[in-house]
């Protein structure tokens, strides 16, 4: 017997065309009716999987994921935790646009996961005939109920990816997600191939969310983060040829609430211009306690901060190794929201917490 809790947050999967001809997600109760009419999912069971059942929950507001904020990440984490002991696996139905950010955040907000949390969605609504939604939906529920992978994942177009390694790589095609720096955790075909050597290990009892005491402590921590998360800003800054020091300074000093961290989407292996004014703007921020992350705007490969004279390690930016920009941003937000001071956040950023990066020695 396996019970799966499906949390519908919105996204294309739940969209219908509104009066203005644009796609907008329907409320939860209406979406559940559509899911119950999906082949294989009637009666809250899953055809061909005796003993597997699903229950659906939702929030009052359904969102296009372009409207999601870190507060929504915390709301998702709190909801999953509140029903954690009643289910064997979890599916979060979510818009694809910011799914990689939310999945990354959940991996940091729910340390000690002992059950799968599978993010899913689709490029085309469930209400449309030629859609990837039915296969993605059924697949996510089956994966969450049958694969004991103890981590936050993204299931899309037959691939199960580590959530904090995933990125949206195609705006239109059904193969919308990839994890360029990490192999899939499983893939679905006529057989399900499990890539178990790459799964995170089961958490020990001291941290496992299977333990009621750990769950209670985590709920309390998440409640504190709800208030904290609106008190600071984290920016993402894509570098480009000709970027002006004055633009960077304006952004860093003119943002309210004050900037606590910046994900720099640098060139190649983590490089940027050596214009002294540009570097001064960054190092002044770093000296004032702003945590700068040296990420790359290139999808595959890792930042090697010391490799070039143009490396941003020179201004005190932390090399992100092969962490995705989405994971870097979510990790900064979650660490600051947990109340750590800038020095502690800076120290924690390059250390893997949930399999989000690979440390490259040397
Ligand atoms: N705009 C939609 C969203 O992110 C796109 C999708 O779900 O595919 O909510």
For residue 164, what is the domain's CATH number? 3.40.50.1170
Per-residue pLDDT tens for 289-320? 999 999 999 999 999 877 888 889 889 999 99
What pLDDT, on the 0 to 100 scale, is given for residue 80? Answer: 98
Is residue 294 domain-shared with residue 172, that is, in the same domain?
no
Distance CA 194, CA 183 (A): 11
Q: In this predicted model, what pLDDT tens digit does every residue of 42-98 receive, in sequence order?
A: 999 999 999 999 999 999 999 999 999 999 999 999 999 999 999 999 999 999 999
Range of the domain at 285: 232-348
Choose which residue among 64, 72, 127, 156 to substitute to test ligand 1 binding: the one with the highest number of ligand atoms within 8 A of its C-beta. Answer: 64
Measured CA to CA, the distance from residue 91 to residue 7 in angstroms comes to 6
Q: Which residues of 50-87 are buried (b: 16+ CB within 10 A; e: fewer)?
A: eebbbebbbbeebbbbeebebebbbbbbbbbbeebeeb
Q: What are phi and psi of 61, to 5 degrees?
A: -100, 125
The DSSP code sequence of 119-144 is EE--SS-TTSSS-SHHHHHHHHHHHH
Residues 165 and 76 in one domain: yes
Selected catalytic residue, list 12, 62, 98, 296: 12
Residue 309: the pLDDT is 83
Q: How far is the CA of 23 from the centre of ligand 1 (A)?
A: 9
Claim to verify: residue 251 and residue 304 sit in the same structural domain: yes
Q: Which two tokens stand for residue 155?
A: 């299931």
Read off φ and ψ for residue 299, nearest 5 degrees: -70, -35
Work out which ligand 1 atom sits closest to the CA atom of 97. Answer: 4
Looking from the CA of residue 66, the nearest atom of ligand 1 is 4
In the prediction, which pLDDT does 76 show?
Answer: 98
Q: How many domains does the chain have?
A: 2
Among 63, 66, 326, which residue has the most ligand 1 atoms within 8 Å of its CB, making it the best to mutate? 66
Question: Which segments within the chain are labelled E, that is strand?
Answer: 2-10, 15-17, 23-25, 52-63, 89-93, 117-120, 152-156, 159-162, 167-168, 177-178, 186-188, 192-194, 233-238, 259-266, 291-296, 318-319
> Which residues on adjacent β-strands are paired with residue 167?
178
Protein residue with least CA distance to atom 3, ligand 1: 95
Same domain, 41 and 146: yes
Distance from the alpha carbon of residue 172 to the mean position of ligand 1, in angstroms: 11
Model pLDDT for residues 150-168, shown as the tens digit of each residue: 999 999 999 999 999 999 9
- Expressed in angstroms and rounded, the spacing between residue 15 Cα and the centre of ligand 1 is 9
pTM as predicted: 0.98
Instruction: Look at residue 358 and tell me if it is in a domain.
Output: no
Q: Best of 10, 25, 26, 121 to mutate for ligand 1, by most ligand atoms within 8 A of CB?
A: 121
Half-sphere exposure of 251 (CA within 13 A, CB side): 21
Supply the CATH number for residue 242's domain.
3.40.50.40
- Looking at the structure, tell me whether residues 69 and 175 fall in a common domain: yes
Q: Say if residue 208 is in the same domain as residue 240.
A: no
Residues 247 and 193 reside in one and the same domain: no
Contact 74, 81 (CB under 8 A): no
Q: How far is the CA of 14 from the centre of ligand 1 (A)?
A: 9
The answer to whether residue 362 is domain-embedded is no
Residue 362 binned pLDDT confidence (cut-offs 50, 70, 90): low
Instruction: Mark whether 12 is an active-site residue.
Output: yes
Specify the 3-state DSSP secondary structure of 280. Answer: helix
Assign 33 a pLDDT band (cuts: 50, 70, 90): very high
67 shares its domain with 198: yes
Q: Which of 224, 257, 273 is the last residue of a domain?
A: 224
Pocket of ligand 1 (CB under 6 A): 10-12, 64-66, 95-97, 121, 123
Residues 243 and 220 in one domain: no
């Amino acid at each position: 017997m396996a019970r799966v809790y499906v949390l519908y947050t919105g996204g294309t999967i739940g969209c219908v065309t509104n009066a203005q001809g644009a796609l907008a997600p329907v409320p939860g109760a209406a979406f559940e009716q559509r899911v119950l009419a999906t082949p294989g999912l009637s009666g809250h069971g899953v055809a061909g999987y005796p003993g597997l059942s699903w229950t659906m929950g939702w929030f009052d507001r359904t969102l296009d994921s372009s409207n999601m904020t870190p507060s929504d990440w915390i709301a998702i984490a709190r909801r999953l935790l509140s029903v954690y002991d009643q289910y064997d696996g979890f599916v979060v139905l979510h818009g694809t646009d910011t799914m990689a950010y939310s999945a990354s955040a959940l991996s940091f907000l729910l340390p000690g996961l002992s059950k799968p949390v599978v993010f899913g969605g689709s490029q085309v609504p469930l209400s449309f005939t030629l859609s990837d939604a039915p296969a993605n939906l059924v697949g996510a529920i089956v994966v969450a109920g049958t694969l004991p992978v103890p981590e936050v994942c993204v299931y899309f177009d037959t691939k199960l990816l580590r959530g904090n390694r995933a990125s949206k790589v195609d705006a239109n095609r059904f193969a919308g997600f990839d994890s360029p720096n990490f192999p899939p955790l499983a893939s679905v075909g006529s057989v399900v191939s499990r890539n178990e050597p790459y799964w995170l290990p089961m958490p020990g009892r001291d941290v496992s969310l299977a333990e009621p005491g750990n769950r209670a402590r985590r709920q309390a921590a998440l409640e504190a983060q709800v208030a904290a998360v609106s008190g600071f800003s984290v920016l993402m800054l894509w570098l480009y040829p000709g970027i002006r020091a004055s633009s960077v300074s304006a952004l860093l000093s003119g943002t309210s609430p004050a900037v606590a961290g910046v994900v720099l989407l640098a060139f190649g292996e983590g490089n940027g211009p050596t214009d002294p004014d540009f570097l001064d703007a960054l190092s002044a921020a770093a000296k004032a306690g702003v945590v700068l992350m040296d990420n790359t705007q290139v999808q595959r490969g890792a930042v090697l901060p010391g490799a070039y004279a143009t490396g941003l390690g020179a201004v005190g930016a932390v090399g992100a190794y092969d962490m995705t920009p989405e994971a870097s941003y979510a990790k900064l937000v979650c660490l600051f929201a947990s109340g750590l001071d800038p020095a502690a956040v800076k120290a924690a950023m390059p250390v893997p917490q949930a399999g989000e990066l690979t440390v490259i020695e040397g």
